[in-house]
Amino acid sequence: MALTITCPICGKRNGYEFRYGGEDKGPRPEEAGITPEIWCDYVHMNKCVAGVQKEWWFHKDGCGSWFSIHRDTTTNLEVKGPEADK
Partner 1 sequence: MFSKQKPMWGEKTQLKSSYDAVIIGGGLHGLATAYYLAKEHGITDVAIIEKNYIGFGGAGRNTAIVRANQRTQHNVPLYNEALKLWPILTKELDYNLMFNNCGNLNLMHSEAAMKAARMTIATAQFHGVESHLIDAKEAKELVPALNISDDITFPIHGAMFHPPGGIVRHDAVVWGLARGANKYGVEIHQQTEATGIKTQNGKVTAVETSRGTINTKQVLISAGGYSAALIYGMLGIKLPISVLTIQAMVTQPLKPLLNHVVSSGAYHCYANQTLKGEVATGAHMDQWPNYTTQNTAHYIKHQAEALSEFLPCLRGVKFMRIWGGLADMTPDMAPIMDGNEHIEGFYMDCGWGYFGFKSCSAVGKYMAQFMAEKECPEILKPFNYRRYEKHQLMGETAALVNYTPDN
Residue 46 makes contact with partner 1 by CB under 8 A = yes
Report the residue number, 71 or 86, with the smaller CB distance to partner 1: 71
What letter would DSSP give residue 15? G
Q: Across-strand partners of 4?
A: 14
Residue 84 makes contact with partner 1 by CB under 8 A = no
Residue 61 makes contact with partner 1 by CB under 8 A = no
Instruction: Report the residue from 6, 34, 39, 66 that binds partner 1 according to the rule CB under 8 A.
Output: 39
Which one, of 41, 56, 55, 52, lies nearest residue 82 by Cα? 52
- Rounded Cα–Cα distance for residues 80 and 72 (Å): 10
- Rounded Cα–Cα distance for residues 62 and 65 (Å): 8
Report the residue number, 53 or 81, with the smaller CB distance to partner 1: 53
Which residues are near partner 1 by CB under 8 A?
A: 1-3, 15-16, 19-22, 36-37, 39-41, 44-50, 73-76
